[in-house]
Chains A and B, each alone.
Chain A
Amino acid sequence: MSGAVAEAGYAVAASGLRRARRRRRARRTAVLVVLAGLATVLSVAALMMGEFRLSAGQVLGALAGSDDPSAHFVVVELRLPRLLLGVLVGIAFGLAGALFQSVLRNPLASPDIIGISQGASAGAVAALLVGGATGAVVSAAALAGGAAVGLLLYAVAWRGGMTGHRFVLSGIGVAYVASAVVGYLLTRSDVKQAQVALRWMTGSLAQAEWSLVRVLAVALAVLVPAVALLARGLELLLLGDDQAGSLGLRPELVRALVVATGVALACTATAAAGPVAFVAFVAAPVARRLLGDGTLALVEAALVGVVLVVGADLVAQHLLPADLSVPVGVVTGAVGGPYLIWLMATGGRRTT
C-alpha cells in the first residue's frame, strides 16, 4: 500500500490515468494478499485450537503426513472436515451473494432476502418437525426447498426476459410465504423440537464429516468454474444491456445462467450447513468497499466469505462458553452486522 503511494509520488510526470490504474492494481493485490493471508492464519488456528492443543508445526506435520498418530487423528479426522466445510460454505455463500447482488443490481439481493434460504429452511424444518428426519434427509429436504423456490421464481419472474426488480420482489414474496410455513411449524411443535429446528436455521458446522465435505466439494468443483466462465459476461452486463448486446453478448441468457448458478451455490451450501446468517449478504459489499473501484470482486467476495465463516466458527467454538455451543450462524451475524455498519459509517471517499 505504502509502496503504491510512494510510487505515485515519484510519477508526477506520468499521466493521471496510468497512475490511477496502477494504484488500483496495487490496492487489488494488497487486498487479495491480506484476505488470503487472513484466511490461512484463521485456518491454521482452527486446526490448532481445541481440547487437544497442537502447535502450528504439529498441524503442518500432520497435514503433510507425519507419523504422530494422535496429532494426525485430531487434525485430519476431527478438525479438518469442520474447517473444510467452513471454507467451502464461505466460498459458496460469498460467491452466491456477489452474483445475485451484481446481476440483479440491488444491494439487498442475497439468498437470505430473495427466498432461497427461507425455502431451504421450510424444507428442512418440515423434515425435522413433521418427518422426524435427521442428517442427510434434512439436507436433501433443504436442497429441495431451495431449488423449488428457485424454479418458482423462474416461472413467475421470467416473462420475455427477466429484470432485477421483478425477480427480487417475487423472491421476497416467496420468502414471506416460506417464513409463514416455518412459523406455522414452529408454533405447532414441541418446544424442544422447535429449538432443534431453530439451531438448524441458524447455520452450524458441527455436523461436519468427510462424507459431507466430499459431496459439497464435488458440487463446488462444478459450480466455481461455471462462475469463472460467467464472470466476463457478467462484467459486460454491468455496462448495461445495450452495451453488452452490441459486444455480442446475449444479456438474457447470461443473466439466467448467473442466477441459476447463484441459486445452485446457495442451495448446496445451505443444505450442507444451514442458512449461515448474513455471509452471502455481507461478503460482496465488504469486498467491494475494500477494493473501492467498482469492479465485480468475485474472488475477494469468496475470500471474505471464507474469513467470515472460519473466523466466526473459531469464535463460536473457542471464545464463547463451551456449554452454550453456539452455532456459527449466530457469530457471523453478530460480527458481520456491526462490521458492515462500521464500514458504511467510516467509509472514506471512494475513488470513483
Chain B
Amino acid sequence: MALLLCAQPTSTAAAAGSERATSRRGLAAVVALLGLLALALLASLMWGAREIAPGQVWAALVDPVSGDADHHVVRDLRVPRTLIGLVGGAALGAAGALMQGVTRNPIADPGLLGINSGASLAVLVAISALGVTSVSGYVWFAFAGAAVAAVVVYGAASLGWEGVTPVKLALVGAAFTATATSVITVVLLTDQRALDDYRFWQVGSLANRPIGVLTAVLPFVALGLVLALAAGRVLNALALGDDVARGLGQDVVRGRLLVVAAVVLLCGSAVSMVGPIAFVGLAVPHLARVLVGPDYRWIVVLSMLLGPVLLLTADIAGRLVARPGELEAGLVVAVVGAPVLLAIVRRSRGIAA
C-alpha cells in the first residue's frame, strides 16, 4: 500500500510528461501534414493529361474566363476530382482508424464490417436489375448497401453469449463479405453487361465524378468526422480491454455503437463517391501510429489528414504514368501505399504483439 502511494506521484508525472510529448509530436505532425496536403491539392489541380501553371490555376479559381480550355479543365474536371479525393480520403482514413480501434485488430480495414461488400452488392443490383449506369446514380445504392451491411453485421455479432466482442465483429464481418461476394460473383458470371460496368466501379477511381456526388454525401461525412473526433477517448478506453474500460467508467456498448455509426457514415459516403478503396483505411492509421504513438485522439486526426494525402498522391500518379490515359486511383493507391506499409511493419516492434 505504501509502495503504491509513493509510486503514484511519479507515475502521474511521467504520464503527464509523455502526454505532453505526444501533444507536441501530434501538433508538429498536423502542421507538416497540412502543408503536405496543400501541396497535394495544388498538384492535383495542376497536373494531368494537360499541365497547367500555378498562375493559370489561380486565375481559373478566382477569375474564370469562359471558353478558356485551361480554366474549363481546372474548374469543371480537376476541382471536383480534387475535392472528392480530399473528402473521400479523409473519410476513409478516419474510418480505418476507428475500425482498428473498435476491433482492437491492427489488420482491420473499413471493408471489414462488410461495408464495402454491402455497398458493392447494392451497386451491382442497381446496375444489373435497375439498369443504372452513372456514378451519381450509384451513390444512394452504395450508401444504403453499406448501412444495411453494418446493421446486419453488428446485429448478428451482438446476438448470443457475451454480446459484441472485437473477434466476433471481425469474424461476422468477414462472413458477411464472403456471402455478399458469392452473390456478386453469381450475378457477374451470368450478366456480362453488368460485369462490364461493375469492373470499372469496383477498382475505385476519382475520375469523372460530378460534384453533385460530393454535395449529396457531404452532410454524412461531416457528421461522421465529428463523431470520429469525439471517439478518440472512447477508443483509448476500449484499447485497454472491455473490463478495464468499464472500470474506467466507460459505457462500452454505447461507445462501440457510436464508433460503428461513425464508420458507417464515413465509409458509406466514401465508397459511394470513389468506390470500394479499402487500402487507405488500412495503411493510414499505421503511419499515424508511427508518427504519434498509440493515443487514438491523435491517430484519428492524423489519419484524417494522411488519407487524402495518400489518395490524392495515388490519383496524381495515376494521371501521370499513363498519359494521356490514366490509371484508376484505386489501383495505384495499393502500389504506392504498400511499400510504405511494409516499411513501417518491418521497422516497428510496437505492433508486434
Contact = CB atoms under 8 A, between A and B. Distances in A.
B342 A194 contact: no
Nearest to A168: B107
Interface stretch (B189-197, B217-225, B258-266): B189-197
Contacts of A334: 178-179, 182-183
Nearest to B168: A344
Contacts of B172: 340-341, 344-345
A65 B93 CA distance: 63
B148 to A, nearest CB: 14
Interface stretch (B29-37, B127-135, B242-250, B324-332): B324-332
B186 interface: yes
Interface in B119-160: 156-157, 159-160
A331 B282 contact: no
B348 to A, nearest CB: 8
Nearest to A164: B353
Interface of B (DSSP majority class): helix
Q: Which of A177, A179, A282, A338 has the most CB of B within 10 A?
A: A177
B254 interface: no
A173 B278 CA distance: 11
Interface string A336-349: 11101100111111
A164 B345 CA distance: 11
Contact of A166 (B168, B180, B185, B352): B352
Contact of B189 (A170, A195, A333): A195
Contacts of A199: 189
Interface residues of A, number: 59
A186 interface: yes
A180 interface: yes
A337 B331 contact: no
B188 A333 contact: no
Given A156-B346, A170-B345, A187-B203, A337 B178 contact: yes
Which 3 residue pairs of A and B lie closest in terms of their CB atoms, listed nearest first?
A337-B179, A333-B182, A345-B159
B351 A165 contact: yes
Interface residues of B, number: 59
Contact of B175 (A173, A331, A336, A346): A336
B170 A341 contact: no
Interface in B160-206: 160-161, 167-168, 170-172, 174-183, 185-186, 188-190, 192, 195-196, 199-200, 202-203
A186 B189 CA distance: 14
19 contacts: A108-B170, A168-B107, A169-B341, A173-B282, A176-B334, A179-B334, A186-B199, A187-B200, A191-B192, A191-B195, A194-B195, A194-B199, A330-B185, A334-B178, A334-B182, A337-B178, A344-B172, A346-B160, A349-B161
A157 B180 CA distance: 32
A324 interface: yes
A165 B167 contact: no
B64 interface: no
Contact of A177 (B185, B278, B334): B334
Q: Which of B160, B278, B282 has the most CB of A within 10 A?
A: B160
A103 interface: no
Interface string B96-113: 000000000111010000
B189 A341 contact: no
A183 B331 contact: yes
Contacts of A216: none
A347 B351 contact: no
A44 to B, nearest CB: 26
A198 B199 CA distance: 11
A183 B330 CA distance: 9
A202 interface: yes
A169 B345 contact: yes
A176 B338 contact: yes
A195 B188 contact: yes
Interface string B63-94: 00000000000000000000000000000000
A166 B345 contact: yes
B335 A338 contact: no
Contacts of B171: 107-108, 285, 340, 344
A191 B196 contact: yes
A173 B345 contact: yes
Contacts of B348: 166
Interface in A318-338: 324, 326-327, 329-334, 336-338
Given A183-B202, A191-B192, A194-B199, A326 B175 contact: no
B301 interface: no
A163 B192 contact: no
Contact of A324 (B105, B107, B190, B328): B190
A157 to B, nearest CB: 7
